[in-house]
Amino acid sequence: MIAKKTTIKAPEGLHARPAGELVKLAKSFPGTKTLISNGAREVSAASVLSILSLALKKGTEVEVKAEGPDEESAVNALAGFLDSLEG
């Protein structure tokens, strides 16, 4: 299990489209379980509905975790994607 923290920077928070892209990214590591947490709740990073239900706003600190064969590259890819969202 590997984890990495980052902060949501997009002014509108994490909306449907970037959430969908995040899910695609998470699904590109089959066999690796990916999770995302806002501190209060932890959900699967492979579900748009789950991610949207976290209501990630600008400034929210999130933690992404991965467990499985590609855990290191999965965590880096997901955290890197969230970092790249500037709005």
Partner 1 sequence: MEGRFATGKAWILDRGSGSGRGSGRTLEEAFDLESERLKAFIEDSPVPEVFSAHLEMLEDQLLRDTILRNVSGGMVPVDAVIAAEDEIMGLFLGIDDEYLRSRVDDVRDVCQGLIDCLEGASPNSYESLPPDAVVVAEELFPSDTAMMDLDKVKAFVTAKGSPTSHVRVIARSRGIPAVTGADISGIRSGDLLLVDEANGTVEVNPTEERLEAVRSMNRGVSVFPEEARRAVLDSGVKVLGNAGSIKEIEAVIGAGAEGIGLFRTEFLFLGSDNLPSEEEQYQIYKKAVEACQGRPLTIRTMDIGGDKTVPCLNLPKEDNPFLGMRGIRLSLSMPELFKEQIRAILRASALGKVRIMLPMVSRVSEVIQAKALVKECEASLEASGTAFGKNIEIGVMIETPAAAFVADLLACETDFFSVGTNDLTQYVMAADRGNASVSYLLDPLDDAMIQALRIVFKAAREKGVPAGVCGEAASEPKVAPVLCEMGADSLSLGSPALIGELKGSD
Hey, which residues are catalytic here? 15
Choose which of 8, 23, 25, 85 interacts with partner 1 (CB under 8 A): 23
Question: What's at 57, amino acid-wise?
Answer: K
The reply to whether 49 sits near partner 1 by the rule CB under 8 A is: yes
Q: How many CB atoms lie within 10 A of CB 45?
A: 27
Q: How many CB atoms lie within 10 A of CB 4?
A: 17
Choose which of 37, 47, 60, 73 interacts with partner 1 (CB under 8 A): 47
Residues of this chain, 59-78, that bind partner 1 according to CB under 8 A:
none
The structure tokens listed for 79 are 């955290």
Residues forming the site for partner 1 (CB under 8 A): 12-13, 15-16, 20, 23, 43-44, 46-50, 52-53, 55, 57
